[in-house]
Amino acid sequence: MKTQRLIKAAAVNVINFITHSMMEHAFLLAYETELADLKGLIPPGSVSCGNGIGNWNLEFQLLEMVDDKAVKALLSAMRKMERHVNTFMVFTGITPEEVVFEERAVENATHLWNDIVCQMKYESHQDILTALPWMFDNYYLLLYNLAQRISTGNMALIEHDDVGFAMWDYRKENDCFASLDFSAKYLLDMVKDIWEEDLELQNLSGEHYGQV
């Protein structure tokens, strides 16, 4: 598999990692409220596969029953990511087999995820809610990095482009990305598309601490 195709297959895995992470946090929140009876019975990280092509219809249906505002925001973001990954696969031509069985794509995606996202431990609903804006920043950094890898064709791109990421305002169009190809720009557009849910989660977190 050529490098560009390998990076795009890895990107599909990372998008699925992000969606799975959102789902895990949604269940963690729900276990503290309306799904408390399931807490300890079904680990939130086991509700779906963590790589490959996600099929989360049953999980979505269960979460739709939860009236928690943060869960609803995460569910909205997850549905967007599900649509985006399907669209990304269509216009890049990446197949499910490449995503699941191409070892280099899986390894690259896993390495990038583990390098940027650390496993958190939470003690309460408030802990989870407070951590979510930080998690979304990690998701943005992952998508930003993948866009740069696709644009440069460089699998070995340094994971933490802190300066470039800090200068990039993902809520606005940015001329410095004018040279990116469509698939790279699409990854950045995913960030803009889930900003509304991120802002909702920030507002909900702020309510807990009385922040404006």
The amino acid that residue 155 corresponds to is M
- Give the 3-state secondary structure percentages of the chain, helix then strand then coil, rounded to 5: 70, 0, 30
Q: From residue 128, give the alpha-carbon distance in Å to each of 5, 99, 116, 174, 183.
A: 36, 30, 18, 32, 32
The full set of domain ranges for the chain reads: 3-209
What pLDDT was estimated at residue 35?
Answer: 80
What average pLDDT does range 3-31 have in this prediction? Answer: 93
Residues 100-109: tens digit of each pLDDT: 999 999 999 9
How far is the first Cα of the chain from the last one, in angstroms, to the nearest whole number? Answer: 50
d(CA 96, CA 73): 28
Residues 147-182: tens digit of each pLDDT: 888 888 887 765 555 545 555 565 555 545 555 688
d(CA 164, CA 145): 10
What pLDDT was estimated at residue 167?
Answer: 52
What pLDDT was estimated at residue 57?
Answer: 77
pLDDT at 17 over 80: yes
Question: How much is the pTM?
Answer: 0.86
pLDDT band at 208 (very low <50, low <70, confident <90, very high): very low
What pLDDT was estimated at residue 52?
Answer: 45
123 vs 132 pLDDT, higher one: 132
pLDDT at 192 over 70: yes
